[in-house]
Amino acid sequence: MVPADGPLTAKIALVGEAPGDAEVAGGRPFIGPAGKLLDGMLEEAGIRREECYITNLLQEQPDASAASSKLRNDFGVLYEDSGRKSPSSRLLTNVERVRLELQQVAPHVIVALGNEPLRWLTGKQGIGDWRGSVVDSEINAPYMPGAPSSDVNTLLSTGIKVLPTYHPAAILRQWDWRPIAVFDLKKALSESTTSTITRRPRHTTVGESIDQVMPILTQLAAPGAPIAFDIEVETQQVSSLALAASPEEALVIPIFWGPTGSKWAPDDEEVLWETLADLFATHPMIGQNVHYDLTFLRMYNVYATRIHMDTMVAFHVLYPELPKGLEFMTSLYTDQPYYKWMRTTSDEQEFYRYNGLDALVTYECAGAIEQELREA
């Protein structure tokens, strides 16, 4: 058995999966190769390991009798099915132990190291998607993944912050994840000052008529801050366009929706595109991967002649070693949790909400990137 390590007064808790061979031999979590990597990342992030509470979902290896270290730490043996929907009683017993540990410590933020802690602490899957997001534990984390909605509990009490990142053992196999995990740990440190989860309000107005859209476009065209824009494309045509002159308010203009076709009468659509062409030609604009969006906007005679910033290019100048997608930048510079799953929704209004969020976080990221560029 490898018990938890660290003070019960810790503001940061780290939850891993299971001890490795070195941990079993030494009786402490994260003291092997992955642990040494974790120590270095914590130090780089400004976190003192001795001030953290460190535990694992399992206090022993999943299959201690297996021939190799990889097989000894195969979490698959703890489920009764290959899809990992039916956890064994052994796993559930350990999850209950972790729940009681975290209840006693009551940290301000819990760092979920890897897919299994992410699943059991938040009910979500896909560490590559959710890493860097501050996830509220009240988002119906299923105590038993796959349980019917009438039988859902939460591993954590509501309102506890969980910040997922890559497991150090995975980083040993994928070294370019290391700087990403360091950024995530820095974010965990900033989140550890309070247990309160705060999020910037982000509102999207969907304009579906000329009478609704034109006053907002007139307001946006007034001299002032740059405007962030983002388009969504379906079947090689613009399906919607989002504009944001702040990180809190966005206008989304539906253009085309597959099941119903064009959203505009021909005369109104002509007025709309003429107004947008004038806005893009005269106002400083911000975009993410501007070349892609402008390729499609040119089909509607919209040309951006005053690009204030392409966030993808600007971020690459700052951090050429890091991913430069909007999803990654959002996790660094904003408190918006992962939302890209909304892109494939069949709900029309949720799709427009997604488009609006793209414009809002692009605007917010641009402000942070511009400040870093000036400081650099």
* Closest to 146 (Cα-Cα) out of 98, 80, 57: 80
Tell me the CA distances in angstroms from 313 to 197, 253, 266, 296, 373, one per residue in order.
31, 26, 36, 19, 12
CA distance 297 to 293: 6
5: pLDDT strictly greater than 50 = yes
307: pLDDT strictly greater than 80 = yes
148: pLDDT strictly greater than 60 = no
Section 71-97 average pLDDT? 85
Q: What is the structure's pLDDT at 28?
A: 96
Is residue 44 very low, low, confident or very high in pLDDT (cuts 50, 70, 90)? Answer: very high
pTM of the full structure:
0.90
Q: Which of 63-72, 85-94, 300-309 has the highest mean pLDDT?
A: 300-309
Q: What is the structure's pLDDT at 136?
A: 78
Task: Give tens-digit pLDDT for 315-329.
Answer: 999 999 999 999 999
Task: Give tens-digit pLDDT for 189-200.
Answer: 999 999 988 899
* 373-376, long-range: CB < 8 A, 24+ apart: 373/314, 373/317, 373/318, 376/318
Domains (range + CATH), the chain:
12-191 (3.40.470.10), 203-375 (3.30.420.10)
Is residue 101 very low, low, confident or very high in pLDDT (cuts 50, 70, 90)? Answer: very high
Q: What is the structure's pLDDT at 315?
A: 98
Section 50-70 average pLDDT? 86
Residue of 239 and 156 predicted with greater confidence = 239
Q: What is the structure's pLDDT at 149?
A: 43
Least-confidence region, from 8-22, 33-47, 161-175, 251-265: 251-265
Percent of the chain with pLDDT over 90: 72
Percent of the chain with pLDDT over 70: 94
Q: What is the structure's pLDDT at 180?
A: 97
pLDDT, mean over the chain: 91
Is residue 152 very low, low, confident or very high in pLDDT (cuts 50, 70, 90)? Answer: very low
Section 162-173 average pLDDT? 97
Residue of 144 and 179 predicted with greater confidence = 179
Task: Give tens-digit pLDDT for 222-231.
Answer: 887 899 999 9
47: pLDDT strictly greater than 80 = yes
Section 3-10 average pLDDT? 97
265: pLDDT strictly greater than 90 = yes
Q: What is the structure's pLDDT at 158?
A: 64
Is residue 155 very low, low, confident or very high in pLDDT (cuts 50, 70, 90)? Answer: low
